[in-house]
Amino acid sequence: MQTLITEMFEIKHPIIQGGMHYVGFAELAAAVSNAGGLGIITGLTQKTPKNLAKEIERCNKMTNKPFGVNLTFLPVIEAPDYPGYIKAIIDGGVKIVETAGNNPAKWLPMLKENRMKVIHKCTTVRHALKAEGLGCDALSIDGFECGGHPGEDDIPNMILLPRAAEELKVPFVSSGGMADARSLVASLAMGAEGMNMGTRFIATKEAPVHENVKQAILAATELDTRLVMRPLRNTERVLNNKAVERILEKEKELGSDIKFEDIVKEVAGVYPRVMLEGEMDAGPWSCGMVAGLVHDIPTVQELIDRIMSESEELIRTRLEKMI
């Protein structure tokens, strides 16, 4: 399947693995790239630029296919060493960067000077237009269904993707709620040039997370995610657990008076404990509603091959027969 995204990133299939904290290690990124998609290393999971350089080196040894690095620009007082991270990406020979979070304008010149292709993640059309105007090469349009941060406008992909297609000139992929061939074909029908999957890739054999995490996704339905930190306007979709219920109770009690300090015990240092150690009630962790569509734990190659073969069948058999 050839789309503007496969051409831009020189990949076989229009499937991207999104950046995920303490999930996007070299093992998963390489597996996705080797299977014909675009694997992504999560930059800030690596605590220093030097660590990121080592992770990129590990990935280069595992695949000779294109892969990218995610850089999330955080609204914090003491920002990470972004110039150092970008230098590690450049020195590692990576040519694709997925940006997310705050406006990437400050860092785009450094990326573009080094001939990087930049795909920026947006949850609204207005933000997507801004990123397009800044010079981003492609966009990842993230619907309200997504795990992680869906923004504050709550627009699901059945509306958001067609609106993006109406407004944008650069190619974009769908993100949020993507799991299978139906996701891909529907995304293409609504104007996307491919899809980005996060939660679905966690439930694969190569995902370097604890087995408890994979089984939690497998056992979950589309009803088992919750939105936390909404009163702080930092909404995150997470899989429900005891820590999430405590946060929601605090939000209910404190209302608009709640501050981040009130929930810091529930959220600080959570990801290593959940993803690596399998402590499923340690705190909130990002998971999409798409968990309801995850019914097995295949290899990455099996998953991508299945998506592509079923997509072709959907297009050639089901849809063609309707005309």
Stated as kind and residue range, the H or E segment containing 313 is helix 300-313
The pLDDT, as a whole number, for residue 75 is 74
d(CA 25, CA 253): 38
pTM: 0.96
The pLDDT, as a whole number, for residue 213 is 98
If DSSP codes are grouped into helix, strand and coil, which group holds residue 73?
Answer: strand
The pLDDT, as a whole number, for residue 288 is 98
The pLDDT, as a whole number, for residue 68 is 98
- Could you tell me if residue 233 is left (phi over 0), alpha (psi between -120 and 50 degrees) or otherwise beta? left
CA contacts within 13 A on the Cβ side of 204: 24
d(CA 150, CA 38): 22
Q: DSSP 3-state helix, strand, coil percentages of the chain (rounded to 5)?
A: 45, 15, 40
The full DSSP string for 3-16 is -HHHHHHT-SSSEE
Residue 40 CB neighbours (<10 A): 28
For the chain, the distance separating the N- and C-terminal CA atoms, rounded to the nearest angstrom, is 21
The pLDDT, as a whole number, for residue 89 is 98
If DSSP codes are grouped into helix, strand and coil, which group holds residue 107?
Answer: coil
- Across the chain, mean pLDDT equals 97
Residue 161 CB neighbours (<10 A): 27
If DSSP codes are grouped into helix, strand and coil, which group holds residue 174?
Answer: strand
Record the tokens describing residue 129, joined without a space.
């237009």
Closest listed residue to residue 289, CA positions, set 229, 232, 231, 240:
240
The pLDDT, as a whole number, for residue 78 is 83
Measured CA to CA in angstroms, residue 214 lies from 176, 210, 219, 285, 286 at distances of 18, 7, 9, 13, 13
- Please state which CATH class domain 4-208 belongs to: alpha beta
Stretches where the chain sits below pLDDT 50 are none
Q: Domain-by-domain residue ranges, the chain?
A: 4-208, 221-286
Residue 208 CB neighbours (<10 A): 15
